[in-house]
């Protein structure tokens, strides 16, 4: 059970090459697609979600040829776009019922039951009579999850779902996804490294329409063991370090000092201390390699 993406390319009419001969295999469970803004993540997600056709390439979900038989995929698809609106002046309960109808839940009692369940799961039951259009960002995102669960989806695609959520909301959200991943393939795109670290069994790093690296969070850090070095410097020293060594990140520790992480096979100078590799290091290394 899984997704097979082969040689998919897409160039938009404004000349942007969003997907560049991209191939990817994804199995069951939670898959994280990590990449900066504009990497082509959403283009890939929309292609998987049957919302747009690539110029070239094939996409299969099990036996379903996604590009040729979109309707078959849609029957087992749960999709949460990066950003969405809702019809004004409709309550969550009514709107979920509407989506349940659209997703083929035929019997009225089934729908009623299912809508109530997903409302409870997403903790929206209390506000089910309120207009969704008036929801806060977090509530709306939970509504997005709720609609996604209406039809026992086998393939779930969520595009940057945690952007703009407060920590507690994010946490809860990720927990729900983790639960869903027990029975479905979930593809989850984000530009937040921690989302992937906390959640995904497998992951890929994407930029410029290509997959730069497909790995698991654990392997990614394991490979870097002994190759990450850290140093505390003052602001004035930064440029010199940057020109000398491949700097992965530089962050203020306090008002004066900057914590700089560098990727190198051996200790650059004695001022550098060995550091525990993090997923973020792998991410930056992959992006740097590509650049």
Partner 1 sequence: MFASIFWFELKYWFRNPTIYIFSVILLLLAVLLMGASAGLFDAASGQRVADSPLSLYTFIILFNKLILFIVPAIIGNSIYRDFKSRAYQVMYTFPFTKWDYLAAKFLSSLTMVLIIAAVTVLGLYFGTQLPGTHQELLVETGAETYLQLYTHYLLPNIFLFGSLVFVLVVLSRNIYTGFIAITLLLIGRELVFRIAGNSGTFIVALFEPLGETATLLTTKDWTLEEQNKNPLPFSELILFNRLLWWLIGCASLGLAYLNFSFSQHGWNLFAYKSRSTRNTKNNFGSLIRIKLSTVVINFNWVHQLRLLWRLSHIDFKYIIRSGSFISMALAGGIFIVVLLTQMNPPYETRILPVTWVMLAFPIFFFSLLVNFLTFLYAGVLIHRGRNTRMHELLDVTPVSDVVFALSKVLALVKMQLVLLAIIFVSGIAVQAYSGYYTFEIGHYLFDLLVIHLIGFIVWTLAAVCVHTLIAHSYVGLFMLILGFFGVSQLEMIGLRSHVFHFNQDIEPGFFLNYSDMNGHGYSLIPYFILKGYWLLVGVLLFLGTVIGWSRGTNTTLRARINMASQKVRGRLGLAVAIGAVMVIATGFMIHRIENAFHAPHETMRSQINRSADKKYGHLKNFIQPRIINVAVTMHLFPEKESFESTGIFTLLNKSNQYIDTLLVNYSHDAFTEYNLDADYETLLKDTIAKFDVNRLKHPLAPGDSLHLSFCVRNIPNSGLFQNSPVLKNGTFITSLIYPGLGYYSSSLRGDPNDSLARQNHYRSIDSDYISFQATVSTSSNQIALAPGYLIKQWNTDNRNFFQYQSTSHVTNDFAFTSGRYQVLRDSYQNMPLEIYYHPAHVYNLTHMMNGLKATLAYCEKYFSPYQHKQVRIIEYSRKTGDFAQSFANTIPVSERSFVMDIDESNPLALNVSFLGASHELAHQWWGHQVIPANVNGSRMITESMAEYISLCVLEQTYGKEKGKLFRRKALDIYLKRRVEDENEEPLIENSGLDKSYIFYQKGSLALYALRDFLGEEKLNLALRAYLEKVKLQHAPYTIPLEMVEYLRQATPDSLSYLIHDLFETVTLYDNRLKDYTITKLPTGKYQVAINFTVTKFRSVNSQKVFEDSNGETLTHRDGHATVNSLPLKDYIEIGIYSSRGSVLHLKKHFVHAINNTLTVEVDEVPGLIAVDPLVKLIDVHTDN
Answer for which of 41, 46, 140, 197 binds partner 1 (CB under 8 A) is 46
- Four-CA torsion 65, 70, 72, 73, nearest 10 degrees: 80
Count Cα neighbours of 56 within 13 Å in the Cβ-side half-sphere.
Answer: 10
77 binds partner 1 (CB under 8 A): yes
15 binds partner 1 (CB under 8 A): no
Complex with partner 1: residue 156 or 193, whichever CB lies closer: 156
Lay out the site mask for partner 1 across 135-174 (x = CB under 8 A, - = otherwise): -x-------x--x-x-xx---------------xx-xx--
Complex with partner 1: residue 64 or 260, whichever CB lies closer: 64
Q: Which two tokens stand for residue 33?
A: 């697609």
> What residues contact 122, with CB distance under 8 A and at least 6 apart?
142, 143, 145, 146, 176
Helix/strand/coil for 12: coil
250 binds partner 1 (CB under 8 A): no
Q: In degrees rounded to 5, what are phi and psi of residue 281?
A: -60, -45
16 binds partner 1 (CB under 8 A): no
* Contact window for partner 1 (CB under 8 A) among 1-9, 94-102, 205-213, 276-284: 94-102
Answer for which of 40, 41, 64, 114 binds partner 1 (CB under 8 A) is 114
What is the smallest separation between the CB atom of 139 and partner 1, expressed in angstroms? 9
Complex with partner 1: residue 79 or 229, whichever CB lies closer: 79
- Four-CA torsion 264, 269, 272, 273, nearest 10 degrees: 80
69 binds partner 1 (CB under 8 A): no
Lay out the site mask for partner 1 across 170-209 (x = CB under 8 A, - = otherwise): -xx--xx--xx-----------------------------
123 binds partner 1 (CB under 8 A): yes
In sign, the C-alpha dihedral spanning 121, 127, 133, 135 is: negative
Q: How does 119-139 read in b/e, with b if 16+ C-beta sit within 10 Å? A: bebbebbebbeebbeebeebb
269: left (phi over 0), alpha (psi -120 to 50) or beta: beta
In sign, the C-alpha dihedral spanning 125, 102, 159, 184 is: positive
Complex with partner 1: residue 114 or 261, whichever CB lies closer: 114
Q: Which two tokens stand for residue 275?
A: 């550091």
Q: How many residues bind to partner 1 according to rule CB under 8 A?
A: 52
Binding site for partner 1 (CB under 8 A): 12-13, 46, 49-53, 71, 74-75, 77, 79, 81, 83-88, 98-99, 101-107, 110-111, 113-114, 117-118, 121, 123, 127, 136, 144, 147, 149, 151-152, 168-169, 171-172, 175-176, 179-180
């Amino acid at each position: 059970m899984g997704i097979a993406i082969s040689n998919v390319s897409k160039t938009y009419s404004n000349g942007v090459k969003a997907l560049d001969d991209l191939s990817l295999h994804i199995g069951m469970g939670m898959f994280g697609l990590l990449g900066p803004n504009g990497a082509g993540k959403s283009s890939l997600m929309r292609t998987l979600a049957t919302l747009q056709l690539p110029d070239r390439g094939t996409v299969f979900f099990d036996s379903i040829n996604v590009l040729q038989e979109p309707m078959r995929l849609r029957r087992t698809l749960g999709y949460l776009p990066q950003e969405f609106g809702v019809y004004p002046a409709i309550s969550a309960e009514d709107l979920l019922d509407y989506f349940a109808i659209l997703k083929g839940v035929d019997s009225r009692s089934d729908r009623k039951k299912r809508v109530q369940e997903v409302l409870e799961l997403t903790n929206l039951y209390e506000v089910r009579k309120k207009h969704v259009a008036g929801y806060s960002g977090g509530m709306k995102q939970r509504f997005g999850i709720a609609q996604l669960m209406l039809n026992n989806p086998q393939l779930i695609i969520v595009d940057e779902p945690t952007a703009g959520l407060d920590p507690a909301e994010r946490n809860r959200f990720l927990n729900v996804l983790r639960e869903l991943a027990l029975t479905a393939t979930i593809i989850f795109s984000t530009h937040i490294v921690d989302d992937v670290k906390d959640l995904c069994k497998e992951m890929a790093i994407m930029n410029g329409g290509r997959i730069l690296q497909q790995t698991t969070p654990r392997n990614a850090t394991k490979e870097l063991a002994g190759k990450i070095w850290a140093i505390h410097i003052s602001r004035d020293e930064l440029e010199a370090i940057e020109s000398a060594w491949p700097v992965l990140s530089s962050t203020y520790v306090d008002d004066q000092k900057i914590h700089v992480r560098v990727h190198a096979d051996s200790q650059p100078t004695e001022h550098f201390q060995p550091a525990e590799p993090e997923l973020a290091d792998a991410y930056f290394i992959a992006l740097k390699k590509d650049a």
